[in-house]
Amino acid sequence: MRENGGPVVTDFNYTPSHQKQFLQPAVGTTVSSHQDLKQIVEMTLGSEGVLNQAVKLPRGEDENEWCAVHCVDFYNQINMLYGTITEFCSPQSCPRMIATNEYEYLWCFQKGQVPVAVSAPKYVECLMRWCQDQFDDESIFPAKLSGQFPPKFISKYVVQMLRRLFRVYAHIYCHHFNEILELNLQTVLNTSFRHFCLFSQEFELLRPADFGPLLELVMELRDR
């Protein structure tokens, strides 16, 4: 994929456009390099647009439940992905939760208080705990079969959660992509993020502004 055939050089200039070229070979319809999975996918839905198909609401299903399942899935995926770079994302390396130098995400510790700048690991920790608290709240994510979702569940809770979870992808892409490449996790990261984008797109959950630092990358995934 590299045009000049020169030495493999990973650049990291905090701009998504420079990362793009490294994303191209990995992002695609191949879900994983693992042969079994590739076969399963090819045998069943065909390798074209498997994820695009998989995010669609099953016939007759409640949209709230479908979104709730995906919130939990993306939460788990991001937890796994971030878990691999915790050694490299410390309060020293990342004293602020940023994605490129243009975006900084603040955390609000108490309702009504001014959001404050925290380190990236602190932000992720707070975010994950906040998600967990929502999942455990029976009035938001009902666990009983008789449990109902609250009114405006998607616009009030799902959108909010995805908007925040996205920021972890943004931080990883913008500040730890080289580590991800070295650990050979780029396929996993790209698949997860692509799945996240396709899902958000399918149900029109996130606005372009929510994709801030990764907008360019998101547009490319969309056109693929």
Partner 1 sequence: DIDITSSPKKLPAGFHEKAKSHKTQRVVSVCQMYFLDYYCDMFDYVISRRQRTKRVLEYLSQQRAQKSLGNERLNEEWTGYLQKEHEVLRKRRLKPKNKDFE
Q: Provide the binding-site residues for partner 1, judged by CB under 8 A.
A: 4, 6-7, 9-13, 18, 31-32, 34, 36-37, 40-41, 44-45, 50, 53-54, 58-62, 65-66, 68-69, 72-73, 76-77, 80-81, 83-84, 86-88, 93, 141-143, 145, 178-179, 182-185, 188, 191-192
Residue 18 annotated as binding site? no
- Structure-token pair, residue 83: 């878990």
CB of 24 to partner 1, least distance (A): 15
- Structure-token pair, residue 163: 């908007």
77 or 213: whose CB is closer to partner 1?
77
32 or 155: whose CB is closer to partner 1?
32
The packing angle between helices 186-202 and 215-223, to 10°, is 80
End-to-end CA distance of the chain: 16
77 or 210: whose CB is closer to partner 1?
77
115 or 147: whose CB is closer to partner 1?
147
3-state SS string over the chain?
CCCCCCCCCCCCCCCHHHHHHHHCCCCCCCCCCCHHHHHHHHHHCCCCCHHHHHCCCCCCCCHHHHHHHHHHHHHHHHHHHHHHCCCCCCCCCCCCCEECCCEECCECCCCCCCCECCCHHHHHHHHHHHHHHHHHCCCCCCCCCCCCCCCCHHHHHHHHHHHHHHHHHHHHHHHCHHHHHHCCCHHHHHHHHHHHHHHHHHCCCCCHHHHHHHHHHHHHHHHC
Neighbour tally for 167: CB within 10 Å? 24
39 or 155: whose CB is closer to partner 1?
39
CB of 111 to partner 1, least distance (A): 27
Residue 89 annotated as binding site? yes
18 or 156: whose CB is closer to partner 1?
18
Residue 67 annotated as binding site? no
Residue 108 annotated as binding site? no
Q: Is the CB of residue 91 less than 8 Å from the CB of residue 122?
A: yes
Going by the annotation, the residues of the binding site for Zn(2+) are 89, 94, 171, 176
Going by the annotation, the residues of the binding site are 89, 94, 171, 176
